Structure 1
Amino acid sequence: MEKIQYLLPWSASGTERTLSVFRFGAGPRKAYIQASLHADELPGMRVAVELKRRLLELEAQGRLNGVIELVPMANPIGIAQMFQATHQGRFEFASGKNFNRDFPELAEAVAPLLKGQLGDDAEANVALIRRALIDTLADMPPPASELDGLRRLLLQHACDADVVLDLHCDFESVMLLYTMPQHWGRLHSLAARLGAKVTLLAEDAGGSAFDEACAVPWLRLTELFPEANIPLACAATTIELRGMADTEREPCTHSAQAILGYLAEQGLISGEWPPAPSSRCEAMPFAGAQYACAPHPGVVSFLQPLGARVKVGDPLFEVHDPLNDRHSIVRACTDGVLYARERLRFAQPGLWLAKVAGFTPIRQGRLLSD
């Protein structure tokens, strides 16, 4: 194992923050895994603890056939953001920006470096593109902030990977994945191994989240160079490891083992591994997800459990205003699966309280919320 450490730029005077990357194995193929980019989403960090332990064992046994890079704490800025004993790891205090938005979009930047060089050899094209991605990131102007520096470092390590796994969670949630529809076939067995209930598919969910910053350039380059043989060489996904409180040892150990089994299936780890189970996961368009909000303030009572299959008109939750006796029931506007709920139980303006994944697109434009 190699431990790589970076000092983030622009730390407050008299302080410094460090990003740590753990590199296991060697070889031409690579997987990149990071956890807790939203620093208060801790199940990924707990899974990373198990991954690190097992990768050390596998490396000692000579069973790694490629490089696996692990970033167990992808956000040293957000991990320190506490406000009155409450962790605030989604948005940077200094700028108000979401830690998982606005990653550099690289396709247009790398295209001039590739003009006239790409041909029919897919393997050669992949090598050229990965070199161009790395060079483009290295040649960017110095980071303008600590957050910009963090984004740059994370993307530099992930941009040349065959597989990118970004470990997150929701407030209260079933296990689910986000990915591009073009990668669903390649990630189907990962969803099965994890026991995911839903996978949400979108080519561009808006906001340039980390997984899309890794995967979308390959898609855009196929459009910019239609004459060249360019495979979609980076299968990237965001994995929602259930809810924020789901850090217990057994499910996190199971998730780590599922990820390792998938990497073995991808040829990065040798030895005997259980086959992927039959999948219960349904792939649905992200545009088909209902974000249900309350019509007025009040205390919230949920009327459906997580994972419930609902029909249009089924009640999701009710809201009681204790001062003026207003009472509302918010219902599903699509058939699908209730996959996430808000942890707060008092309705706020514009705050989603329940998410339902459906097969019929009902939204357009930017799909990700802040």
Structure 2
Amino acid sequence: MQIETLPLISPIPGQQHALKLWRFGNAGARPRVYLQAALHADEIPGMLTLTLLRERLAEMEAEGHICGEILLLPVANPVGLAQQHLGLAQGRFDAGSGLNFNRNYPDLGPGLLARLQGLPSQGEAIDTATVREQMQALLGESCPKTELESLQHTLFALACVSDVVLDLHCDSEAELHLYVHSEQLDEATALAGFMGAAATLHATEQGGNSFDDCCTRPWWWLRQHYPQLPMACFAATVELRGQLDVSLEQATGDAAHLLDYLVWRGAVTGEAQPPAAPAMPTPLQGVSVSCAPHGGIVSYCHPVGSPVEAGTRLGWVIDPLSGQRSELCAEASGIYYARVLQRFVPAGLELCFVAGETPLRSGRLLAL
């Protein structure tokens, strides 16, 4: 096991954050697996899960069971973690720029294509190793100027040349669910089986240049020009339930399930087969959203994680001044997988999310 400290750009004199990276296995070994947690720094379940997984990996390495290379960052965003205001964590957006820490990662596809087309060898000579070399060269040309840019550049450079990228987040109040690429549903279904995901949401492009999306997108882009190339990076966002779902019991189970997945993927020795996934993948475009019809108090009445039919009552919104009480109903049939944690909301706020099979939306599919 190697522990590395990766300093970020100092935003002001006297202040500097750094990432702490754990490496297991042998440098350059395949498969290379990258796991990070708390990119949204106020989403804590993954941080605890990777802390416990780190302990298990240290034991496995001491016994000679790591056969790939595993990179692990339990705290992927020390910048956001330091944003504590009046006792409340503000870890989703960078306080200086207002930008989401999980948006605006580089779209390497066009630049990679130009570099590959400029190589002396073409066509069948373009392979996975060549693409990864060009990825590193392309990222090496960028020059971060701010603390946020240096954070995103450092994380992305570590991840994008990996075989597997798992970005651990959590939702507001939810069952465990995944975001994956539409061309990788077999592996996504396996991961869903290991993790017990209530929903697996897939798209070819999620919108907003999220971390996992930008790890897979270059391969999707290049395959349109070099069909022999595989989708050589499986990347997924793993939403570990809700913000309050932080417990040693759950994190121990999640760490064990991730370790089973690493065994199945060939990064750790042993035998593991994925259980049946609780639900088959559904399009991210098929997520229906129920919004607050007016401001007021939210009272939910239907459990998250259950299947619902269109029109099922999920709760009420009550105006405490007028007494108006309005039903909050499912807009479509599917798995009711997430809802907003806050219980006093403004009009129009997105409150309940149902994963359905029929595409309903287009364009940018992720929230800001």
Normalised by the shorter chain, which TM-score bucket? Answer: over 0.9
Which whole-Å CA distance do the structure 2 matches of 1:145 and 1:291 have between them?
36
Displacement, 1:112?
1.9
Q: Please, which runs of 5 or more residues in structure 1 have no aligned partner?
A: none
Asked if the contact 1:11–1:17 (Cα under 8 Å) also holds between the matched residues in 2, the reply is: no
Within 5 Å, which residues of 2 pair with 1:36-47?
Answer: 36-47=38-49
Asked if the contact 2:10–2:17 (Cα under 8 Å) also holds between the matched residues in 1, the reply is: no
Cα shift readout 1:148-175 (whole Å, capped 9, x = no counterpart): 1111000110011000000000011101
Which whole-Å CA distance do the structure 1 matches of 2:49 and 2:140 have between them?
31
State the one-letter code of the partner of 2:355. A
Q: Secondary structure at the match of 2:35?
A: strand
Q: Secondary structure at the match of 1:6?
A: strand
Q: In the alignment, what sits opposite 2:83? A: 81
Q: Which runs of 4+ in 1 moved over 4 A?
A: none
Displacement, 1:11?
2.3
Q: In the alignment, what sits opposite 1:15? A: 15
Q: In the alignment, what sits opposite 2:243? A: 244
Q: Secondary structure at the match of 2:314?
A: strand
Cα shift readout 1:95-128 (whole Å, capped 9, x = no counterpart): 111100000111111222211534336xx61000
The count of aligned residue pairs is 364
The verdict on how the C-alpha distance between 1:173 and 1:196 changes in structure 2, with shifts beyond 3 A counting, is: same
Q: Secondary structure at the match of 2:5?
A: strand
Q: Does 1:170 align with 2:176?
A: no
Displacement, 1:276?
2.0
State the one-letter code of the partner of 1:152. H
Within 5 Å, which residues of 2 pair with 1:284-363?
Answer: 284-363=282-361
State the one-letter code of the partner of 2:322. N
Q: Does 1:151 align with 2:155?
A: no
Asked if the contact 1:118–1:125 (Cα under 8 Å) also holds between the matched residues in 2, the reply is: no
Return the match for 2:141 from 128, 139, 142: 139
Give the alignment's Cα RMSD to 1 decimal.
1.3
Cα shift readout 1:24-52 (whole Å, capped 9, x = no counterpart): 10113200000000000000000011111
Q: Give the alignment's TM-score, normalised by structure 2.
A: 0.96
Q: Give the alignment's TM-score, normalised by structure 1.
A: 0.96
Which whole-Å CA distance do the structure 1 matches of 2:189 and 2:212 have between them?
16
Q: Secondary structure at the match of 2:127?
A: helix
Displacement, 1:183?
0.9
Q: Secondary structure at the match of 2:165?
A: strand
Which whole-Å CA distance do the structure 2 matches of 1:198 and 1:266 have between them?
21
Mean Cα displacement is larger for which, 346-355 or 280-289? Answer: 346-355
Asked if the contact 1:37–1:74 (Cα under 8 Å) also holds between the matched residues in 2, the reply is: yes
Q: Please, which runs of 5 or more residues in structure 2 have no aligned partner?
A: none
Which whole-Å CA distance do the structure 2 matches of 1:135 and 1:10 have between them?
25
Q: In the alignment, what sits opposite 1:97? A: 99
Asked if the contact 1:50–1:256 (Cα under 8 Å) also holds between the matched residues in 2, the reply is: yes
- Paired-residue identity, %: 40
Q: Secondary structure at the match of 2:78?
A: coil
Displacement, 1:144?
2.5
Which whole-Å CA distance do the structure 2 matches of 1:332 and 1:161 have between them?
39
